[in-house]
Amino acid sequence: MIEIKDLHKSYKMGSNSLHVLKGINFSVEEGELVAIMGSSGSGKSTLLNILGMLDNSDSGEYILDGVPIKNLNETKAAQYRNKFLGFVFQSFNLINYKSALENVALPLYYQKVGRKERLEKSLKYLDQVGLKEWAEHLPSELSGGQKQRVAIARAMAAEPKVLLADEPTGALDSKTSYEVMDLIQKINDQGNTILIVTHEPDIADMCKRIVHLKDGVIIEDKKIKQVRAEQYV
Amino acid sequence: MFDRDIWQEIFHSIKNNKLRTFLTGFSVGWGIFILVLLLASVNGMQNGFTRQFSDDATNSIFIRAGVTSVAYGGFEAGRRIQLRNSDIEYIKRSFPKDIEYISPRIYSGVSARYKSETGSYNVQAVYPDHQMIEKTLVSKGRYINENDLRNASKVAVIGRKVAEDLFKKEDPVGKFVEFNGLPFRVIGVFTDDGDDNAERGVYAPSSTFQLMYGQNDEINQIALTYNPNYDLTEALEFSERLESVFKRKFKVAPQDQGGIRVFNYAEVFENISNFTGGLDFAVIIVGLLILLAGIVGIGNIMVFIIKERTKEIGVRKALGAEPWQIIKLVLFESVFITALSGFIGLAIATGLLSLIGPNIQTDAFANPSVGMSIVVTATVILVVAGVLAGLIPAMKAAKVRPIVALSDK
Ligand SMILES: Nc1ncnc2c1ncn2[C@@H]1O[C@H](COP(=O)(O)OP(=O)(O)O)[C@@H](O)[C@H]1O
Ligand SMILES: [Mg+2]
């Protein structure tokens, strides 16, 4: 599903530059649930952003579902993001003046799905995250956990090839975190490919594979026995 | 453009930012309001001028004769030029297609007496046509007719003030009044609502006065109206032709205004329309500047809005919004706010004008209003303004990098 080879990225800061990713090699199969771990500043978000086509790498190869991602213009990148990828962020990033349902429907709007079908589909996904009754509510009327579940529904609504989540539980207490992880595990059970950035070991343990990042290189990449979140909910 | 979703997005954004929308729209609405009022004021001035002049026939020309001021054609300067009845016949013969009405004017002063009442009045001795040239309103009796002229009848049409002075409460029509000791029958009374002074005058047949003063055919002035279908250029062209013919006939130098002077109302109109045309232009410039200030205001606010919405735009892009879709969102919002507020300004201004406009009827200012063309122009200006105001912010929005927008800082 994902294949990257010798990926480099540095940030220019005035005259000197900061080398953040120093040759990353790894691949992800369909249906995997991968945790990207590492201390703060190790380059986890940078890697995820490049995978999400929100940022460009300096060198290296990136193939997503057989499509080489290279020199995309803005419009093409937008289309690929829309078709291939779903995003979940630490701070939810819901649009505050749109209802939960409208937020979920937004990626479908950009997929040019018709209005009726769009709303039906969005409602279905809201139902899957257990928030059907909250469809008409604004984000400000939802708790943190509920917001993140709306965000997950929004990411899934476009039926992406890969779900990318940057610290999805970073702003939540542990009980709510487990609820969100339970949801992510269930989505993964359905065969979806998911990458999660986290620096919390208990969250990483709920994935099926942990990739450990330090100073811009992968120092460890292991498959683990998944801890189910359901038991803590 | 007619995609329901984008309008929903725009309404959403407007509804959730009422104050912002109001502030943005106010400057443009205000600009259009001022522009329309200014244009209407110019229009009111034009109406005022036209009304003042339309009291007399606006297609009139006057030919006066005087003393030559330069030597010409073998004659010395200082020669007196005399117009005669034959000159009127000459004009009728030479310009049959150009002339509508024509009349001589012979000026004289008379001492008038009726019973014990006396007074001094100016008499204009004229043809029946003169009524149409001066647009004289006869309130009682009748005006001079062809019979009076042919028979050189001693009849008079007197002004309302003359009638009041001499006849008091009596009905003057049919009574005899003495002018310089000769009895004249009053055949009518005229009014002139533009002018009290004119109502202190008397009209009589030109033939009568020419007979009274020594059987001559001398006249002081020729008054005529030209074909009412002539436009300004044709009118001016005709009076120039008339002037050059007369100057040749009397051997007066072409540029000598003392010997023969042809005065055309159209000249005055030409000056007025040049003046108000210039005013129109100045008003449009001022209005556009006000509007420009509004556009810059909207542009500024839109840029600020984009800053505020950076995160939202980043999210949209992450979810797959193409740059063009972001541009569309910002641009349409700007055009919508501009157009809507502009129309509100336009509606208030035209509403105000239709309320108070017809009540304003002073000498120099009448019924200020705006025509369809101004409304259409304003609409086009508004849409262009909206696009201009939204363009830079929209480009800025399209350039927002999702990575920057989404960083949790
Ligand atoms: N836009 C940027 N410009 C400059 N430096 C950046 C930028 N984004 C991240 N960095 C730096 O790159 C390093 C890696 O950042 P990041 O990928 O966000 O780390 P993590 O997500 O693992 O905490 C950090 O030192 C950070 O300060
Ligand atoms: Mg990070």
A160 confidence band (pLDDT: 50, 70, 90): very high
Name the residue at shortest CA distance from atom 13 of ligand 1.
A41
pLDDT of residue A20: 93
The token pair at B369 is: 């209003």
Which bound ligand lies closest to the C-alpha atom of A22? 1
**Per-residue pLDDT tens over the stretch A73-86:** 888 888 899 989 99
B7 in contact with A at a CB cutoff of 8 Å? no
B323-356 and B265-308 helices, crossing angle to 10°: 140
Average pLDDT on A27-53 reads 93
B178 confidence band (pLDDT: 50, 70, 90): very high
Question: Is 90 exceeded by the pLDDT of residue B328?
Answer: no
Q: In terms of Cα–Cα distance, which of A92, A99, A62 is closest to A77?
A: A62
Q: How far is B360 from chain A (nearest CA, A)?
A: 50
Q: Probe ligand 1: pick from A8, A9, A16, A20, max atoms within 8 Å of CB?
A: A20
Average pLDDT on B260-278 reads 77
Q: Which atom of ligand 1 is nearest to the CA of A43?
A: 17
Residue with tokens 């330090």: A214
A117 in contact with B at a CB cutoff of 8 Å? no
Higher per-residue pLDDT: A29 or B408? A29
Higher per-residue pLDDT: B402 or B48? B402
H helix runs in B126-231, sequence order:
130-134, 146-151, 160-167, 206-212
Residues of B in contact with A49 (CB under 8 A): 403
Residues of A in contact with B397 (CB under 8 A): none
> Could you tell me where the beta strands, DSSP code E, fall in B66-200?
83-84, 99-114, 117-126, 137-141, 155-159, 176-179, 182-191
Q: In terms of Cα–Cα distance, which of B386, B378, B376 is closest to B294?
A: B386
A95 in contact with B at a CB cutoff of 8 Å? yes
Residues of A in contact with B395 (CB under 8 A): none
Contact across the interface for B319 and A98, Cβ inside 8 Å: no
H helix runs in B95-137, sequence order:
130-134
| Percent of chain A whose pLDDT exceeds 70 | 100
Q: Nearest CB to B320: which of A45, A78, A90?
A: A78
pLDDT of residue B55: 53
pLDDT of residue A187: 92
B365 confidence band (pLDDT: 50, 70, 90): low
Query: What is the average pLDDT score of chain B?
Result: 84
**Secondary structure (DSSP) of B19-41:** HHHHHHHHHHHHHHHHHHHHHHH
pLDDT of residue B363: 61
B89 confidence band (pLDDT: 50, 70, 90): very high
How buried is residue A132: exposed, middle or buried, by Cβ count under 10 Å (0-12/13-18/19+)? middle
Average pLDDT on B218-229 reads 91
What separation in angstroms does the CA of B406 have from each of A46, A75, A162, B305, B342? 12, 19, 19, 17, 36
A223 confidence band (pLDDT: 50, 70, 90): very high
Which residue of A51, A84, A85, A109 is the best one to mutate when testing the B interface, meaning the one whose CB has the most B CBs within 10 A?
A109
A109 in contact with B at a CB cutoff of 8 Å? yes
Higher per-residue pLDDT: B54 or B116? B116
Distance (Å, rounded) from C-alpha A54 to C-alpha B358?
A: 64
**For residue A50, how far is its CA from the centre of ligand 2 (angstroms)?**
13
Average pLDDT on B225-236 reads 85
| Residue A139 DSSP symbol | G
pLDDT of residue B362: 63
Question: Is 80 exceeded by the pLDDT of residue B359?
Answer: no
What lies within 8 Å, CB to CB, of B78 at 6+ separation is B67, B68, B69
Q: Are B331 and B10 in contact (CB under 8 A)?
A: no
**Does residue A198 have its Cβ closer than 6 Å to ligand 1?**
no
**Does residue A44 have its Cβ closer than 6 Å to ligand 1?**
yes
**CA B156 distance to own-chain centroid:** 35
**Does residue A145 have its Cβ closer than 6 Å to ligand 1?**
no
Q: Which atom of ligand 1 is nearest to the CA of A12?
A: 4
B344 in contact with A at a CB cutoff of 8 Å? no
Question: Is 60 exceeded by the pLDDT of residue B409?
Answer: no
Average pLDDT on A150-179 reads 92
**Does residue A139 have its Cβ closer than 6 Å to ligand 1?**
no
Average pLDDT on B206-213 reads 89
Specify the range with the lowest mean pLDDT, choosing from A51-65, B48-62, B390-404.
Answer: B48-62
Q: Nearest CB to B408: which of A91, A97, A110?
A: A91
**Does residue A18 have its Cβ closer than 6 Å to ligand 1?**
yes
What sign has the CA pseudo-torsion A40, A43, A47, A53? positive
A26 in contact with B at a CB cutoff of 8 Å? no
Q: How far is B24 from chain A (nearest CA, A)?
A: 20
Q: Probe ligand 1: pick from A8, A40, A42, A46, max atoms within 8 Å of CB?
A: A46
Residues of A in contact with B311 (CB under 8 A): 93
Distance (Å, rounded) from C-alpha A162 to C-alpha A30?
A: 9
Q: Of all helices (H) and strands (E), which one includes residue A4?
A: strand A2-13
Residue with tokens 């290279």: A70
**Per-residue pLDDT tens over the stretch B270-295:** 777 677 777 778 877 887 787 787 77
**For residue A188, how far is its CA from the centre of ligand 1 (angstroms)?**
28
Distance (Å, rounded) from C-alpha A209 to C-alpha A1?
A: 15
Distance (Å, rounded) from C-alpha B408 to C-alpha B315?
A: 12
B304 confidence band (pLDDT: 50, 70, 90): confident
Specify the range with the lowest mean pLDDT, choosing from A130-139, A164-173, B303-312.
Answer: B303-312
Specify the range with the lowest mean pLDDT, choosing from A107-116, A122-131, B73-82, B366-375.
Answer: B366-375
Q: Are A29 and A223 in contact (CB under 8 A)?
A: no
Q: In terms of Cα–Cα distance, which of B149, B156, B151, B88 is closest to B123?
A: B156
Instruction: Report the range out of B228-232, B321-325, B342-346, B364-368 with the highest average pLDDT.
Output: B321-325
pLDDT of residue B50: 66
**Does residue A42 have its Cβ closer than 6 Å to ligand 1?**
yes
Structural domains present in chain A: 2-95+160-232 (3.40.50.300)
